[in-house]
A and B are shown apart, each in its own frame.
Chain A
């Protein structure tokens, strides 16, 4: 599904954000991506969502080399990837419904079909009763769940999350992770970047750990204490 092949990314000025990173995420697999801030987690996610391009190496999704994707086709690639942001990036002056419907509108859905899908997505994150609310009136956890609903509304095969529990208390974080698990169980590949190591250890999923741009661990995180 997702493959990194000896990927390096350096920025002008010589800063190396990723250093020969290789890993593979299978179809229907769920994994965590951990590491301190600045370790390269965000850069890795940016390479997948084509916000950045690798300096060296190849990123492949479903055997398609992303370096072959030209600029006009980037939007179509992003439609296949659900992205959840740390600061959820909702449109604050639009209702929850409009926010979640945005990817569908972009793809040209309309009418009953769209309403059905939006309601289904909101139902999955348990926010069906907030359809007509503005995001400001929701709590942080609810806003994050709206962001998740938006990411999954067009049923992407791959889901990326960047610090989805960054601003949430532990109980809410657990709820959010359960939502990801639920999507994973229906066959979606999920990659969650987080520095909440306690949560990661409890969840018992494959964990990729980055340190200064290098992949230092790939497998189950066995210990509760900070491995870095």
Chain B
């Protein structure tokens, strides 16, 4: 494109002899070349690059870890649907016939999935087994434990379980009913609080990352001030000058994201043993969940976008500010 000399087209790259297809290919070839060139630039200034990548990586690690924490806690809380189980304690001295008839009524109830009867004797045996008071319990003259009916509601949400509890507590032979759902609602509240805290911390850290990348790119622009002036004097557009810096930002993102991923993976590997020994104590099947493929790519995408945005903000301000001062 020549503004001054309309007959000069043949000297430009837009010359008619270059076909559209070839120009399209060259466009991408040039981009790949510039991307690799920017990678080389990072390599040539290792200390500054490593610092920036390190900051980016560590800053991304915290939100990523918190995200995994929330995800794992949620997994735990999801496995506690049985927490909506209602325990009905039967009045002392009720005979087995009455209990069995109530059992049959409840089994036929549409709101109830499952009813289990734990008799006084079963309860005592289990208690003797688990508590370790085995021999001491033989000194008891009679069994102090009540019969218990365990009722699992169809709808395990806190509200409907509580309604069912109220209804069942009115049964004549029921002493009282107990529903351990409060701690579940509390856990849910804590998880959602945690999730919001993660969001706030993530936003703050990502803001810091933007500033850090912007500053690194700014320094890199300043150190190339002369070069940029010369490029402007021989007719480079701002877009052309910007491109390598934008690619630097992208590379910061790629490496920062990978670093964050590796740190989190290392942390998981480190914690796996400790968590394993804790969960085995609770007889739990709990497994620490790592990143899924989607999450990995989201992390990388986020990191690259941060790098690109940070460098774009910096480049837009500083490249147009550099003007050649004279031939």
Contact residues in B for A110 (Cβ distance below 8 Å): 26, 29-30
Whether A64 contacts B4 by the Cβ 8 Å rule is yes
- Across the interface, A108 reaches (CB within 8 A) one of B13, B234, B323, B325, namely B13
- Interface status of A106 (Cβ within 8 A of chain B): yes
| Given A61-B4, A89-B230; A78-B326 close (CB under 8 Å) | no
Max chain A Cβ within 10 angstroms of own Cβ: one of B2, B23, B233? B233
- Across the interface, B4 reaches (CB within 8 A) one of A80, A86, A162, namely A80
- Interface status of A140 (Cβ within 8 A of chain B): no
Whether B4 contacts A107 by the Cβ 8 Å rule is no
- Interface status of A28 (Cβ within 8 A of chain B): no
- Interface status of A62 (Cβ within 8 A of chain B): yes
Contact residues in A for B231 (Cβ distance below 8 Å): 102, 106
Closest CB of chain B to A13's CB: distance in Å?
17
Whether B235 contacts A76 by the Cβ 8 Å rule is yes
| Given A80-B2, A108-B30, A160-B327; A75-B8 close (CB under 8 Å) | no
Residue of B nearest to A106 (CB): B236
Whether A107 contacts B12 by the Cβ 8 Å rule is yes
Whether B5 contacts A83 by the Cβ 8 Å rule is no
The complex places the Cα of A45 from the Cα of B324 at a distance, in Å, of 13
B305-327 at interface with A (beta carbon < 8 Å): 323-327
| Given A42-B326, A83-B327, A85-B327; A76-B233 close (CB under 8 Å) | no
Whether A78 contacts B235 by the Cβ 8 Å rule is yes
Report, as a range, how many residues of chain B touch the other chain. 20 to 34
Whether A108 contacts B26 by the Cβ 8 Å rule is yes
- Interface status of A51 (Cβ within 8 A of chain B): yes
- Interface status of B284 (Cβ within 8 A of chain A): no
B206-237 at interface with A (beta carbon < 8 Å): 226-227, 229-237
A205-225 at interface with B (beta carbon < 8 Å): none
Report, as a range, how many residues of chain A touch the other chain. 35 or more
Whether A46 contacts B236 by the Cβ 8 Å rule is no
Whether B326 contacts A76 by the Cβ 8 Å rule is no
Whether B235 contacts A103 by the Cβ 8 Å rule is yes
Closest CB of chain B to A153's CB: distance in Å?
9
Whether B327 contacts A51 by the Cβ 8 Å rule is yes
Whether B235 contacts A79 by the Cβ 8 Å rule is yes
The complex places the Cα of A118 from the Cα of B231 at a distance, in Å, of 17
- Across the interface, A46 reaches (CB within 8 A) one of B227, B229, B327, namely B327
- Interface status of A155 (Cβ within 8 A of chain B): yes
The complex places the Cα of A46 from the Cα of B226 at a distance, in Å, of 17
- Interface status of A56 (Cβ within 8 A of chain B): no
Q: Mark A52-63, 1 if CB is under 8 A from B, else 0.
A: 000000000110
Contact residues in B for A145 (Cβ distance below 8 Å): none
Q: Mark B274-293, 1 if CB is under 8 A from A, else 0.
A: 00000000000000000000
- Interface status of A9 (Cβ within 8 A of chain B): no
- Interface status of A49 (Cβ within 8 A of chain B): yes
A70-110 at interface with B (beta carbon < 8 Å): 72-73, 75-80, 83-86, 89-91, 102-103, 106-110
The complex places the Cα of A93 from the Cα of B234 at a distance, in Å, of 18
| Given A76-B235, A108-B26; A51-B4 close (CB under 8 Å) | no
The complex places the Cα of A108 from the Cα of B1 at a distance, in Å, of 11
Contact residues in A for B23 (Cβ distance below 8 Å): 108
The complex places the Cα of A79 from the Cα of B236 at a distance, in Å, of 8
Whether A89 contacts B233 by the Cβ 8 Å rule is yes
The complex places the Cα of A150 from the Cα of B234 at a distance, in Å, of 9
Whether B327 contacts A45 by the Cβ 8 Å rule is yes
Whether B327 contacts A69 by the Cβ 8 Å rule is no
Contact residues in A for B327 (Cβ distance below 8 Å): 42, 45-46, 49, 51, 83-86, 160, 162
- Interface status of A157 (Cβ within 8 A of chain B): yes
The complex places the Cα of A110 from the Cα of B29 at a distance, in Å, of 10
The complex places the Cα of A95 from the Cα of B8 at a distance, in Å, of 28
The complex places the Cα of A90 from the Cα of B14 at a distance, in Å, of 26
- Interface status of A34 (Cβ within 8 A of chain B): no
Closest CB of chain A to B321's CB: distance in Å?
13
- Across the interface, B233 reaches (CB within 8 A) one of A61, A62, A83, namely A83
- Interface status of A194 (Cβ within 8 A of chain B): no
| Given A76-B2, A80-B2, A107-B12; A51-B235 close (CB under 8 Å) | no
Closest CB of chain B to A2's CB: distance in Å?
10
Q: Report, nearest first, the 10 A-B pairs whose CB atoms are least far apart.
A: A108-B13, A79-B235, A78-B235, A162-B327, A103-B234, A106-B236, A75-B237, A75-B235, A107-B13, A80-B4
Sample (17) of A-B pairs whose CB atoms are under 8 Å apart: A62-B4, A64-B4, A69-B3, A72-B237, A75-B237, A76-B1, A76-B2, A80-B5, A80-B8, A83-B233, A85-B233, A86-B327, A103-B234, A106-B240, A107-B235, A108-B14, A151-B234
**What would 14 more interface pairs be, CB under 8 Å, given A49-B233, A77-B3, A80-B8?**
A42-B326, A51-B233, A51-B324, A51-B325, A78-B233, A78-B234, A79-B2, A79-B12, A83-B327, A102-B230, A103-B234, A106-B231, A109-B13, A162-B326
> What is A's interface to B at a CB cutoff of 8 Å?
42, 45-46, 49, 51, 61-62, 64, 69, 72-73, 75-80, 83-86, 89-91, 102-103, 106-110, 150-151, 154-155, 157, 160, 162
